[in-house]
Each structure stands twice: as structure tokens, then as C-alpha cells.
Amino acid sequence: MKIENYQRYIAVIIFFVVLIIGVPICINEIYKINFGYITMWGPSDVLSYYGAVLGGLITVITLSITIFFTQKQIKRVI
């Protein structure tokens, strides 16, 4: 059972690494092609938006972990 848990954690870590590193690289490469649909915004705008969304997601995850940990501490005291 422990091996399955480690595999799950490794899969989640790999997913987030690809999400954090891979998406900006893909955005940059798509804008380098400059073929087809022309947008009104540039790659810097898209990367800025992606950074804001990623920052918000990290904030929500961290807040959820903090709330869970606090509830666990309260139950331990009682």
C-alpha cells in the first residue's frame, strides 16, 4: 500500500511541475509560430495572467492546508 501512495505523490508532483514549467513554455512557443489567429494581447499579457491564476491557486491550496491543520490541532487538544 505504501508504494502506491508514493507513486501517487510522485505523479502529483510531476503533474504540478509540468503545469508550472510546461505551460509558460507552450505559450511562448505558440506565440513564436505567429500563424493563424491573431490576438489583441501579447505573450507577456498571457504569461502575466497565467502567473496570477497560478498564484491564486497556490494561495487557495495553502489556505486549505492551513485550515485542515488547524482543525486537526483543535481536535487533538480536545
pLDDT digits (tens, 9 = 90+) for 27-39: 778 777 877 777 7
Q: What is the pLDDT of residue 3?
A: 67
**CA torsion, points 53, 58, 62, 67, in degrees to nearest 10?**
30
User: With 80 as the cut, is the pLDDT of residue 73 above it?
Assistant: yes
pLDDT bracket for residue 22 (50, 70, 90):
confident
Kindly state the average pLDDT of the residues 16-33.
82
Which amino acid, one-letter code, is at 41? W
Percent of the chain having pLDDT more than 90?
Answer: 27
The answer to whether the beta carbons of residues 24 and 50 sit under 8 Å apart is yes
Q: What is the DSSP letter of 63?
A: H
